[in-house]
Amino acid sequence: MINKFTYLKNVKVIDDADHKILIKNKKKYDIDKIYKYLDDHNINNYLKPFKITDRNLYFDYLDKKRLDNDEVAKHLIFALADLENKTTIYREIDKDKLKEEYDNFNMKINYLEEYYFTLQDMIENKVYPSPSEYLFIRNVSIIYSALNYSKHLLEKWYKIMKEKTRERYVYAHGKCELSHFITSSNDYFISLENAHIARVPTDFIYFFKRNYKDTDMISNFKLYQHRYHYKEEEYLYLLINLTIPEKINIYPSSLNKCIELSEFFDRLKFTSEFISKNEKDKKH
């Protein structure tokens, strides 16, 4: 007997006499291949459906432990390191693709420089800038510092990579963040539709960008490096991806836009502090 249906976004929870079942829409046709890859590598910290149909995935509903974000993040880091240790592979470096990636990073940095220089020049010619324009002008130096530092990191990374013949890859979750991780009787990654083989820092980059405000990211990274230590080029690749700022539109000027801008600059400041702290720790 089914007692209750509950709809949550793209999932449905069925509460019957025995237990709860969660039914999720099947977004990826060949998700079975992802589960098989994880099983073949003895990964036990992901939530596997007990039934798969053409349209849906069926899971046992799990009650989460009552942990705060820092506690959940610690569990996530342990699970992430285990996933990466068990799925590490080495691939030959394609020098042409490497050069293309290096050029793409450079083009992105140069484009952002031009974009923000033009925006700054336009605003500085105004007699009465709007609140969002004023906020931008007061903090634009943070953007230029980030872009200049990312150039420095990119050159160091490319110099190392040109001399190497192989690099490490891992099986990445693809959307690694607190909301895609459950602590219950075991620890489980969920929402694995984007899982794929990728460069080592891929998941931590995503985790940092999504959850830097929600948990102590400096401690998380320190713990992570004890369990899966980055090579120098992997660490540089992480920093390049964290340091290059996004392109942000400062219009139309409004309270919400000013809040968005403040959050944008706060993340750039936090990233700078994160790098400084890690560099200091590396020297000791």
- Mean pLDDT to the nearest integer, 266-283: 90
pLDDT bracket for residue 9 (50, 70, 90) = low
Residue 2 has pLDDT above 50, yes or no: no
Domain boundary among 44, 61, 78: 61
Instruction: Establish if 35 belongs to a structural domain.
Output: yes
Instruction: Establish if 69 belongs to a structural domain.
Output: no
Residue 190 has pLDDT above 90, yes or no: yes
DSSP annotation of 178 reads G
Cβ 31 vs Cβ 193: under 8 Å = yes
State how far the Cα of 284 lies from the Cα of 67, in Å rounded to an integer. 32
Task: Give yes or no: residues 52 and 125 share one domain.
Answer: no
Mean pLDDT of the chain, nearest integer: 93
Instruction: Establish if 74 belongs to a structural domain.
Output: no
pLDDT bracket for residue 7 (50, 70, 90) = very low
The amino acid at residue 241 is N
Residue 181 has pLDDT above 80, yes or no: yes
- Mean pLDDT to the nearest integer, 258-264: 97
Domain that holds residue 47: 2-61
- Say which residue, 184 or 14, is predicted with more confidence: 184
pLDDT bracket for residue 282 (50, 70, 90) = confident
As given in the structure block, the two tokens for residue 276 are 């400084």
Task: Give yes or no: residues 19 and 132 share one domain.
Answer: no
Q: 212: which residues sit within 8 A by CB, 6+ positions away?
A: 267, 270, 271, 274
Instruction: Establish if 135 belongs to a structural domain.
Output: yes
Predicted confidence (pLDDT) per residue in 15-58, tens digit: 776 778 889 989 888 999 999 999 999 999 999 999 999 999 99
Residue 1 has pLDDT above 60, yes or no: no
- Please tell me the predicted confidence (pLDDT) of residue 6: 54
3-state secondary structure of 85: helix
Predicted confidence (pLDDT) per residue in 90-145, tens digit: 999 999 999 999 999 999 999 999 999 999 999 999 999 999 999 999 999 999 99
Strands 20-25 and 51-52: unpaired
pTM: 0.92
Number of domains in the chain: 2
pLDDT above 70 coverage of the chain, percent: 95
Q: With CA atoms as reference, report the closest residue to 76 among 282, 194, 219.
A: 219
- Please tell me the predicted confidence (pLDDT) of residue 150: 98
CATH number at residue 277: 3.90.1200.10
Task: Give yes or no: residues 41 and 108 share one domain.
Answer: no
Q: What share of the chain is helix, strand, coil (3-state, %, to 5)?
A: 55, 15, 30
Task: Give yes or no: residues 169 and 100 share one domain.
Answer: yes
Instruction: Establish if 185 belongs to a structural domain.
Output: yes
